Amino acid sequence: MSPRGRERRVIAAAGAAALVAVGLNLAFSAVAAHRRRKRRELPGFTAQVNLSAADIKRLADRIIVKSKETYDAVAAVPLDKVSFSNVIAPLAELDAQQFPLVQACVLPRMVSPSDDVRRASAEAEKRLDSHFQQCRQREDVYRVIKAFTQKGERIGLEATRFVQCMVREFEHNGAKLTQSKKMEMEKLKSHIDDLSLKYIQSLNDSTKFLLLSEEELAGMPLEFLKELENTNGKWKVLLTNYHVTPILEHCKVGSTRKLIAVAYGQKGGKENIAILEKLVQLRHRFARLLGYPNYADYAIEPRMPRTSRKVLEFLEEMSEQLNDLANRELSVLKDLKMKEEGDAQFSVEDLLYYMKRAEELKVDLDIGEIKQYFPVDLVISGILKMFQDLFALRFEEMKDAETWHDTVRLFSVWDASSSDLLGYFFLDIFSREGKYAHTCVVALQNGCLCSNGTRKVPVAVLLSQCPKEFDGNSALLRFPEVVRIFHEFSHVVHHISNRATFSRFSGLQLEGDFAEIPSLLLENWCYESISLKMMSGFHQVMQDITKSITSEACQSLKRRRDIFAGLKLKQEILLCLVDQIIHTGENVNIDDLIKDLHPKVMLGIPLLEGNSPASCFPRIAIGYDAVCYSYIWSEVFAADLFASKFKDDLLNQHAGLRFRNKVLAPGGSKNPLDIISDYLGREPSLQAFIQSRTRNSL
């Protein structure tokens, strides 16, 4: 029997898992009984999407009770009686059945029009997070799972990977530690969380500013100056991105740019440097407690590179490969500075200003005018058509489905050739009060095989904050907003294309490096004429949208994306190297490290005297600690895939269908490096990425 067939057999035959499913379905039915409003049944999708505050509390209670029952039952299995059917299958079924119920509780926090429902959802999320954290620390359950791994029962490849992921998750949460070590781990985590928030709060609460004269702000747009507060004849410039970046881009006065750059680089002060150094020490202690040599190896082990050494090699190789391109770009900037200021001595504060000058000279594009080509409705319909054509899909809008707001649309997704139902997605793209403020995708249900042999289909929600219609006309999107929506809809298609057996291998639960690769690959369609024309049309007061964006404008958008790519990437690599080195080394002086690395990576440009970038680098403090490299890593893989498989025929459905089946469908059920290498027929390479950026850089 094939591995996949064996997995289907053992899951379908698992009596304990079936009991889990029955229990959870009864729990959900009890909540649903409180609902008076009837809704259209959606095959393969059972979760409610419009719960009341009371419903959310009841459902969260039942989820916790059922979860504890299942974990207790697994923990009670004698170590000499462990099997797939009484240990692994119940936990897999619990994940499959609970995930859409949990999401039904927590999604309303982001989307509900009701304050009461949002509060109930936020409270449920806290309770559920705390409960699942405790579950992942249970030594009794971990001991039983480990006993199963040592038994040697034959299971399929995907089931084996599922078990390995569970073991790693338990170990990452300290399940194999003694009670005293667990208490130490919890104290470390609490201390780390407190310091991270203190670092961020220091930046957010900063009220530092500079007072500058109109002469010192020469070159700044009038619109910018109008937004500044005038104090005794001088303009009050806050040390925030909203003020600092425009000045570094537009101010003609070099001394002002330097003053701003130094002040911003000291924004966090010595206090934040001390916080970050303490954070790094605590993270190393945390990692060593769990058996890792350093924090970077702990953070990277579940990701594609697996080790910090691999990440460092990647960053160093990429930096070296970019040297020629970045040197050519720097020469252009130095020439511009010589012409404008009579001085070729180039410093950090000059980078953004002369990049902007060069862009104005070399890229014929009014980014403000470009939005006239992107009415919201036309962009959305173009995106839907493009993904259907490329990936052999069919989207059908379900007009009578229940949603949480009357502007939300629901679509079913079908395979265009077999007419198999693949999943559903909700589009909640228009702004409203109380709604989550950013563009993102949320999984409402994962695709997976259940114990009774039926399949849950993937369900996703695309959230955005697009402007609504104005005076009966479709609102317009700025081009970066078009790219963001396109990127996030790529995640929707990735999620819905998933055909893995286990819920945890969903397209939205993948290792961070892998999850971004398909969306970054598909972003390339936003810079190609044939695809941009499909989602654009000139919008005027008279609703004439028959004229799509010009090919010249498409080329300018691509040139704008790639111009000075070498120098921009070098700056990013510098920060990634700092992140990686401090999380692999012991007692690293962060300021000294940056001073040493800066001229080496940035082609001889020294760090500004008095600057302390580590005092205002929030990604290292929270969210991306030891994994700042991830976005560049994903970009490199995406560029190779695009150049190798799509560049010459963007709408080739055969290529799109093969990508859907070979890369998107497995989800996390296979090693991501193996998936991509098998698809390419070789190891991924840096060369395609370097060449793509070099082609349009200058």
| Percentages of the chain per state (helix, strand, coil), in multiples of 5 | 60, 10, 30
Q: Enter the tokens of residue 386.
A: 């493009």
| Cβ contact 482:535 at 8 Å | yes
For residues 535 and 482, give the distance between their C-alpha atoms in angstroms, rounded to a whole number.
Answer: 9
Question: How crowded is the C-beta side of 209, counted as CA atoms within 13 Å?
Answer: 15
For residues 398 and 42, give the distance between their C-alpha atoms in angstroms, rounded to a whole number.
Answer: 10
Closest CA to 311 of 627, 675, 674: 627
For residues 406 and 77, give the distance between their C-alpha atoms in angstroms, rounded to a whole number.
Answer: 49
Counting Cβ atoms within 10 Å, is residue 566 exposed (0-12), middle (13-18) or buried (19+)? buried
Residue 442 has φ and ψ, to the nearest 5°, of: -120, 130
Q: How many CB atoms lie within 10 A of CB 149?
A: 16
DSSP 86: I
> Is 313 tagged catalytic?
no
For residues 148 and 162, give the distance between their C-alpha atoms in angstroms, rounded to a whole number.
Answer: 13
Catalytic residue (one of 488, 516, 528, 635): 488
Closest CA to 622 of 129, 193, 126: 193
Q: Enter the tokens of residue 374.
A: 């992107």
- Does the CA dihedral 604-312-521-658 come out positive or negative? positive
| Cβ contact 234:213 at 8 Å | yes
CA gyration radius for the chain? 27
For residues 422 and 564, give the distance between their C-alpha atoms in angstroms, rounded to a whole number.
Answer: 42
For residues 189 and 612, give the distance between their C-alpha atoms in angstroms, rounded to a whole number.
Answer: 26
Q: Which residues make beta-bridge pairs with 442?
A: 461
Compute CA distances 137 → 76, 203, 440, 496, 641, whole Å: 16, 34, 30, 31, 39
Counting Cβ atoms within 10 Å, is residue 115 exposed (0-12), middle (13-18) or buried (19+)? exposed
| Cβ contact 632:318 at 8 Å | yes
For residues 698 and 694, give the distance between their C-alpha atoms in angstroms, rounded to a whole number.
Answer: 8
- Does the CA dihedral 196-198-203-205 come out positive or negative? positive
Strand pairing report for 421-430 and 459-466: parallel
Helix (H) or strand (E) holding 650, with range, is none
- Catalytic (active-site) positions: 488
